[in-house]
Structure 1
Amino acid sequence: MGEIARRAGVSRSTVSYALSGKRPVSEATRRRIQRVIDELDYKPDAAARALRLLREDLPFVGIGHTAGDHRMPWIDVDYAALIAGCVHHLADLGHRALALINRSPELVAAGYGPGLRAAEGFAAAVAERGLAGFAYPCGDDAAAGHAVVRRIRAEHPEVTAAVTLDEAALPGIQHALAEAGLPVPGGFSFAGVAARRWAEDFRPPLTAADVPAQQMGARAVELLVERIAAPPPARPAGLPAGQHRPGSPPRGAGRALTTPGRGSARTRSSCRWCRAGCPRPC
């Protein structure tokens, strides 16, 4: 599934939703994914069998969670805290008007958990810091990323920085910023939540909290083994301390994409994540 996502230029979750039909996916994206599936001769039989096993009430652990999930065990990334942390980081750098580039309108409208929690974290953080914040849904592809940057620039030219969890839109976002004559990070700062591959493909590498997929999978297996051996009361599980604590710096490829906002008076030691001072700006 990862290879399908890479070739189609979308996220793994979008491929999963296109295959299962459990979440809306735009027709253009669905066709692109299907072309890649046909090229690879991919057979999703194993995934279908797994879904049937879950319906038969066998022990399982969710990677990700939904509203009303108090009766199931799960492990997930704290998207609200991570996006809020990105907002605080940008506010510490002096940015006063920020945009959130969220997931697709279809996903958000359908109640997609990471998108909803990212929006909640963004809204809470901009309110806490007294910032101007503007939330924009964005489709899961480069064309949508390009379009959303143009829309933000047209509707809110005062925005000097953005946060996102729409990793598949990053190539289009970067292209649109370059077209607008906004060098990154000198003219526009950017941060968010993205898998390391997407973050490192950005130029320069994106200031991002990595999505620790391998670690999440390993922890989910541990919880499943525990559940099979001695079924406990259902409980959620977070990632180990340091992966998503509020106020912690995003873990990722680097901090090349954030600089002080226009007109800010930030000093080298004023960043909440660099109290002791940094050899270079965050």
Structure 2
Amino acid sequence: MTLRVTFLGTSGAVPTVERAPSAIHVNCEGEELLFDCGEGTQRQMMRYGTGFGLSHVFLTHLHGDHILGLPGLVQSLDFNDREEALAIHGPPGSKRTIRQLVHAGGHDPNFPIRIDEVRPGNVALAREEYQVRTFETDHRTTSMGFVLAEADRKGRFDREKAEEELNIPPGPAYGKLHGGEPVELDDGTVVRPEEVVGPPRPGRTVVYTGDTRPVEATVEAAADADLLVHDATFAGDDADRARQTAHSTAVEAAEIARRAGAKRLALTHISSRYAARAGLLESEAKEVFAESGFDGQVFVPDDGDEVEVPFPDADG
């Protein structure tokens, strides 16, 4: 049951030799999703082997370091004879700009592209297995973050109890019970699903803020999240600059993660001023966790890093 996050671009507005502009690839049960598409995203996808089977692109806002990779990506998909439709989701008021990017240079893609404006607090993508929802963020333009939340899974089936205590023979009855249907045994006994099936087990949650100041909406969106990817453009000594540019510091990101109870925090959108010392941001965030006794994990991903997100109950 795959839920894999690949960090394609982790820099701030200015790329560095090591870090490209913002882009995150997510493989969710084999469906490929892209969150933001900074300059050079298609090359990062080649470099790190994510593949190009994207079905949906989600844009947090329209600043260049989050969208300028879109024209090249669309044209390359077209040159490779793509036929499948691609959906691009952006914040309110973004459709015109996204359309211009899709058709940059007069290019007219030969595959269907749907552009969808989504307001914060709505569902951008609904699947039986998961949803991608939006939440409000605070940047210098219309912006929003995204929550990928899996549906609850069925509870565990207690095979030992079914066989040894209730004398239910292995076979179709097990499937019916696990599917929520009662079954009647040969002796007339009716066994209800709750007798052999445990409570529903939570799915996994990944939250991506894009560029933002620390906001209460993120705390709510990231409650008990398995992975929170949060803007951490600056270190603590640049807190004033963070406020001026509507970004967050690593300390602020850590406070949000702590309050939300997020299990892992990925610090991203790293300013080029920390090109050689991104470890400072990680250290500051870890100090917040340590001082509060919070046992969450924190890291600064490099471009190309992959994170496999496990189920909350670990053993799946």
In the superposition, the TM-score normalised over structure 2's length comes to 0.29
Comparing both chains, which one has the higher relative contact order based on Cα–Cα distances under 8 Å and sequence gaps of 6 or more? 1
Higher strand share: 2
- Mark the structure with the bigger radius of gyration: 2
Higher helix share: 1
